[in-house]
Amino acid sequence: MKQKKISQKLIREIRFQSIIEILMLLVMFFAFVPVIVMLIMSFKTNWEIYNDFFALPKNIAWNNYFVAFGKLSTNMINTLCVIAVAVALTLIVAGLSGYVFATMEFPGKNLIYMLILALMMIPGILYLAPNYSLIQRYGLYNTRWALILPWISGGQVLGILLCRNAIEALPKDLFEAAKIEGCNEIDSLVRIAVPLAKPMLSTIAVMKLVDYYNDFIWPMMVIETNSKQVITVAVKVFTSSMGSTEIGSMFAGYVIATIPLFILFMFTSRLYMEGMTAGAVKG
């Protein structure tokens, strides 16, 4: 009788797990439907799209990608270069600030830290007008620094919080031993804090890269020259210029703009998860 009850309980658990897995598969399928449709459309000619929208392409139209890449390659390279500089500077500022707040004592430390955290409570849309005024005043309009500097100033707030928590969780004995051995603060930061906080720094880098890459409103406000424009705005301009004449090329442009983030996810997902779970379990 006992074995029968156990077997019935096991069967119910298996059924429940099966239902959950089926539901998750359905959710994943519907989540990827737009991506699948985008890929299919990018390989179809205009005639195939208008004739049978849901059919697979009979002849792969590689020309769509040639047209889209010819229009967007400059913007893609410019975007990656600008974001690389912005992410690197964000990590440097956030790492230094997080180390200072985690290991040093100075008057007003907690007050300054709370004021920095309070900036996270302000919606980013409210920064647009004052940031635009500053960019105009300092003559940075239509320059790449008009993108980099505001990204750094806004992106380091969360970075400071995460870096401080990561460094604060490290054993204090490590820093004390380093000081006894003659290391200064910079040596302690570079040789101890940064290597041990690498998962968190990687997480910040991924988060900020995605944020900067997906930014649309700010680049549209401060950049006029197409060669300096980022990919998000360039894709919008490209699709507007294509209109209804080159729908396949328009979808190919969407695919090209998505590729960098897809590659980023493939190669950094492990580091991102390590950073997100760092400190969740204490030994």
**Residues whose CB falls within 8 Å of the CB of residue 248, separated by 6 or more in sequence, listed in order:** 41, 42, 43, 44, 45, 46, 49, 61, 64
Residue ranges covered by each domain of the chain: 2-42, 64-277
Reported pTM: 0.82
Q: What is the DSSP letter of 141?
A: T
> What is the dotted CATH code of the domain comprising 64-277?
1.10.3720.10
pLDDT tens-digit profile, the chain (283 residues): 555 566 777 777 788 888 888 998 888 888 888 888 888 888 888 888 888 777 788 888 888 888 888 888 889 999 999 999 999 999 999 989 888 888 888 888 889 888 888 888 888 888 888 899 999 999 999 999 999 999 998 878 888 888 888 888 888 888 888 788 778 888 888 888 888 888 888 888 888 998 999 899 999 999 988 888 899 898 888 877 766 667 888 888 889 988 888 888 777 767 666 665 654 444 4
Question: How far is the CA of 74 from the CAs of 146, 152, 227, 251, in angstroms?
Answer: 18, 23, 6, 18
Tokens of 117: 């955290």
